[in-house]
Chain A
Amino acid sequence: MLKNGVLKMKNEEQIKKDIETTFGELVKVHIKRRHRIKVDAPKNMTLPILAYLKQRGFHQFTLLTCVDWIKKGMFELVYNLYSLDYNVHVLVSTHINRENESMPTAINIYEMAFDYEREIHEMFGVEFEGHPRLGEFLLEDWKGMPPMRKDFDTRAYVEEKFNVKDLTKELFTRKEQPYRGPGSNG
């Protein structure tokens, strides 16, 4: 992937320098490889960085994703922005507490964040302050823990909800009951 060498990464270097000079030392910028920059930012500086990058020509809001670091008790929110001019993805990453912490919404900067934030809210239970409609998105009538959290056990949920206990047991205990070939009842 790095075949073209480091010499051609002028854009990346430039953006890194600009972000660092504008936002100071609290923001850490890594060039991961060509076309990819990762920015680790504290929560209160994330939106200013997004606004700054949009002004710099990062028009495309490619992705907003969330990673559940359950051991650290944190959610990592990753805003993935892209500029057609620089041909660079900037992944702005920030950490918030798993419980009782919300994130200000980014829809005033990027309209496209609207549905991504709805999805993250539904799947992880992250609150986005100021979002007009954080309701049902993909799931309907969902009760209980948001499913994408690491402590949600989908197999236990399935066993309880769908009345298929025999089936899941069969799959879980396959090691003890080796397959004896066609025709056998084992």
Chain B
Amino acid sequence: MAKIRDFDYEYFIGPQHPGATGNMSYHVWAEGDTIIKIEPNLGYLHRGFEKLTELRHWIKNFPLILRICVPEPDINEVLYAMAIEELNEIDVPERAQYIRIIVLELARLSAYLLYFGGVAGTIGLYTVPQWTIGDRDYILDLFEELTGGRVYHIYQTIGGVRRDIPEGFKERVLKTVDYLEKRLKDYDNLFFQHPIFEKRAKGIGIVDKDAALRFSVTGPNLRAAGVNYDVRKKEPYLIYDRFQFDVPDMYKDGDTYSRVMQRRYEFEESIKIIRQAAADMPEGPVNIKIRNPFEYRVKEGSVYVKLESSKGEYGFYVVSDGGVKPYRLHVRGPSFSHGLQLVRHIAKGTNIADISMILFSLDVCPPDAER
């Protein structure tokens, strides 16, 4: 790397660093406390998923594909199933759709709890991660009851979900959701309304509307910049068009504070969706029968499916040549746009003390960028 200017420090954030969002590194050039250049360095988690999926049958990819994104693995499964269903024009049973909604929204809640803990941890408020991640375990318990796994579920399948929900599961979901809603007040007192948090987060790492459009920012980060756009509203996948929920638009500054608060209010909206889905869920089958999964073929063609994950727009570009295995699968992770070009742009001129908080507030999760 050519020397760009006389700088005081040249140092690395990550891969072994508590302030890095997972296993990725940033090469930082700083003048005093001010960052003058930052260069992301990816590839620590590159496992060649796209290659591996080409070697496995359509159905065998379900256990593999969800390992792309760890904090919220279900979106991968659902997207992959959605891509196959769209190519083969399969109608998914109603009940399965509702179960998918509940699973997706619970996963979103758990990802947000992790997110709050992460952001609070970067500014040293270690009590918040202890609380939120402890509370997140209640959601993981629900998942464990439903699927048998805490983190990786392998619950979705072509044309539905693998099995029906257990008895009394809906009530337990509602109970957990009520508890989380109550806990949100505690988080408000300790974290979201904390004066020092406001002081540190306001006006830091601003992604304004222009930058958001220029750098393909999606998801909560885009909404925090003042663009009211949500895939669930604009291009309703599954059955999101049946639920009443708002997309919060109180925060328009695009700074770190807005990004955190945006998610805090979306947390409540997700709870609303879960309540409605649990109330409206019809009876019926939860999947379609596939005769021989290893001979399962998908019609020739290509499709781009996307959904709204907790981090932003998550998309799969799937190409089939009519065979038993995918021909090509490209994962479009939101972190690819948030963690690389955007960080290069917004981190310039910020303080070294803030860079970790900015990265966490963008919810950069390297595995979905590297795959």
Contacts from A to B (Cβ < 8 Å): 1, 32, 34-36, 38, 59-63, 65, 67-68, 78, 80, 82, 84, 87, 89, 91, 111-112, 114-116, 123, 136-140, 147-148, 150, 152, 154-155
Asked if residues A147 and B51 are in contact (CB atoms below 8 Å), the reply is: yes
Closest to A119 in B: B336
Report which residue of A84, A89, A154 has the largest number of chain B beta carbons within 10 angstroms of its beta carbon. A84
Of chain A, the residue at the smallest CB distance from B91 is A1
Q: How far is the CB of A145 from chain B (nearest CB, A)?
A: 12
B51 & A80 in contact (Cβ 8 Å cutoff): no
Q: In the bound complex, do residue B328 and residue A84 qualify as a contact, i.e. CB atoms below 8 Å apart?
A: no
Q: Which residue of the partner chain, among A1, A80, A89, A115, contacts B340 with CB atoms under 8 Å?
A: A115
Interface size counted on chain B using CB atoms at 8 A: 35
User: B214: CB under 8 A from chain A?
Assistant: yes
Which chain B residues in 323-338 approach chain A with CB under 8 Å? Answer: 327-328, 330, 332, 336-337
Cα distance A136–B48 when bound, in Å? 15
Which 9 pairs, one residue from A and one from B, show the smallest C-beta to C-beta distance? A138-B43, A65-B330, A59-B213, A138-B46, A60-B216, A63-B332, A67-B328, A115-B340, A112-B216
Are A80 and B370 touching (Cβ within 8 A)? Answer: no
Cβ contacts B80-117/A at 8 Å (1 or 0 each): 00000010000000000000000000000000000000
Q: Complex: how many Å from CA A111 to CA B315?
A: 20
Q: Which of B48, B229, B330, B337 has the most CB of A within 10 A?
A: B330
Most buried by A among B51, B304, B332, B336: B304
Q: Which of B54, B304, B328 lies in contact with A89, CB distance below 8 A?
A: B304
B46 touches A78 (CB 8 A): no
A84 partner, pick from B50, B227, B303, beta carbons under 8 A: B227
Known: A62-B315, A63-B304, A87-B235. 20 other contacts (CB 8 A): A38-B302, A63-B317, A65-B328, A68-B328, A78-B317, A80-B304, A82-B216, A84-B227, A87-B234, A91-B302, A111-B214, A111-B341, A112-B341, A137-B43, A138-B370, A140-B43, A148-B48, A150-B54, A154-B55, A155-B55
Question: CA A89 – CA B231 in complex, angstroms?
Answer: 12
A38 to chain B: which residues have CB within 8 Å? 302
Chain B nearest CB, measured from A86 CB (Å)? 10
Chain B residue contacts of A138, Cβ below 8 A: 42-43, 46, 370
Q: Does B215 contact A (CB under 8 A)?
A: yes
Q: What 1/0 mask marks residues of chain B from 308 to 349 whose CB sits below 8 Å from any chain A CB? A: 000001010101000000011010100011001100000000
